[in-house]
């Protein structure tokens, strides 16, 4: 029994050390935790813009798979390279332009009750001028547990998701 306790105690520093890269990854992609957004779906479906000259365009589309949940409509904050760029709510999307190069993208469930908080989901990509990139942030529920996944989707799926969802109207909460 003492040997087992010694082994477990010797693992604790290693387990704690394993969190440092995860925290660094979140900080490099997400924004400050205190920032909150007020989001409502827009009306209509604006025409898909073209990337600005010399830049790329990034779409982040929220999909909420809600089989029987009572949690309402989650607000998902979207971060890029350590700053929040906006937010989606329920099933909506936003887009923004980026400079060419490597970028770190974050989706984070903004919620008040701590038991609803889920880990941020991260993705990275290398933007090229005149290209359009689509990512889906998907909230799923399974047996009362929630997960948030951020994943790239192909152009056809991205255009379909954007055409079937409203553009988010968001502002930072003061």
Task: Give the pLDDT band (50/70/90) at residue 26.
Answer: confident
Q: Which of 9-18, 76-85, 104-113, 153-162 has the lowest mean pLDDT?
A: 9-18
pLDDT greater than 90 at residue 67: no
Report pLDDT for 21. Answer: 61
Q: What is the per-residue DSSP string for the chain?
A: -HHHHHHHHHHHHHHHHTHHHHHHHHHHHS--TT--EEEEE-SS-PPPPPPPTT-EEEEEEEEEE-SS--S---EEEEEETTEEEEEEESS-EEEEEE-SEEEEEEEEEE-SSGGG----EEEEEEE-TT-EEEEEEEEEEETTEEEEEEEEE-HHHHHHHHHTSPBEEEEE--
Q: What is the pLDDT of residue 49?
A: 85
**Stated pTM of the model:** 0.82
pLDDT band at residue 142 using 50, 70 and 90 as cut-offs = confident
């Amino acid at each position: 029994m003492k040997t087992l306790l010694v082994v477990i105690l010797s693992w604790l520093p290693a387990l704690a050390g394993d969190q440092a890269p995860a925290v660094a990854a979140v900080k490099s992609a997400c924004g400050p935790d205190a920032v909150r957004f007020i989001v409502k779906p827009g009306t209509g479906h604006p025409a898909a813009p073209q990337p600005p000259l010399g830049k790329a365009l990034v779409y982040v589309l929220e999909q909420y798979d809600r089989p029987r949940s009572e949690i309402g409509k989650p607000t998902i904050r979207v971060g890029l390279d350590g700053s929040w760029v906006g937010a989606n709510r329920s099933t909506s999307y936003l887009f923004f332009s980026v400079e060419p190069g490597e970028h770190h993208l974050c989706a984070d469930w903004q919620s008040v009750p701590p038991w609803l908080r889920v880990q941020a989901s991260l993705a990275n990509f290398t933007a090229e001028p005149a290209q359009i990139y689509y990512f889906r942030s998907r909230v799923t529920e399974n047996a009362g547990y929630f997960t948030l996944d951020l994943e790239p989707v192909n152009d056809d799926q991205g255009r379909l998701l954007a055409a079937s969802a409203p553009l988010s109207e968001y502002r930072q909460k003061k």
